Amino acid sequence: MKNRISISLILLFASLNLFGQVNDDSIRQVVLNNNVTDSLYVFGQWNKTDGTETHLRYLGTIKSPEGEYKIMTSSWFWGLSKRATSRILVFNDKNEYLGNYYVGMTYDLPEKIENNQVVFLHSKTDECDKKKVTKLSFESGIPEEFFLECKDGYGDIYKFDKE
């Protein structure tokens, strides 16, 4: 009987580790409920063989005539070479997930909210012009897309995904 319980517990924890990214809502809700801005929350632990790690940072609230939006950044690290999937997550004032902007690199994530705008500083990379500051406004609701300039007019367009 003890062996069956031990095996069941091992399988349960292994399945949680394998499928940790499937139900991100619970860890996102932990961060939103704590309501602490600019603190990094790390869930899981990446390793070369089978680990994954999720980094969440709650940036704060944006006010708009359409309502209030809570902004969070997310980086999910996975795979042998520690690849990252990075997103800007958008929630309503009831902590309900509305969608995200999938960004190509972790350094493309915004760093703060200032004057009711999401601010991108490029402070974490040498590839982009550190003098370029992009500000994303939600004054007309959630932008369908935005352009994030890196250098000399070049950059990326990111689109809002409601899924």
Written as tens digits, the pLDDT of the chain (163 aa) is 544 433 333 333 444 444 444 468 899 999 999 999 989 999 988 877 778 899 999 999 999 998 999 999 999 998 887 788 999 999 999 999 999 999 989 999 999 999 999 999 987 788 888 899 999 999 999 999 999 999 999 999 999 999 7
Token representation of residue 91 = 């929630």
Model pTM score = 0.82
75 in a structural domain? yes
What is the rounded distance in angstroms from the CA atom of residue 52 to the CA atom of residue 157?
28
65 in a structural domain? yes
72 in a structural domain? yes
6 in a structural domain? no
18 in a structural domain? no
Q: Hey, what amino acid is at 55?
A: H
Number of compact structural domains in the chain: 1
12 in a structural domain? no
Strand positions, DSSP E, the chain: 40-44, 53-64, 67-78, 83-92, 97-103, 112-114, 117-120, 134-137, 145-151, 154-161
Token representation of residue 37 = 């801005």
Radius of gyration (Cα) for the chain, nearest Å? 18
Helix H segments across the chain? Answer: 2-18, 25-34
10 in a structural domain? no
Domain hosting 56: range is 24-161
DSSP β-ladder status, 83-92 and 154-161: unpaired
Token representation of residue 154 = 């070049």
Q: Which three-class secondary structure state does DSSP give residue 149? A: strand
73 in a structural domain? yes
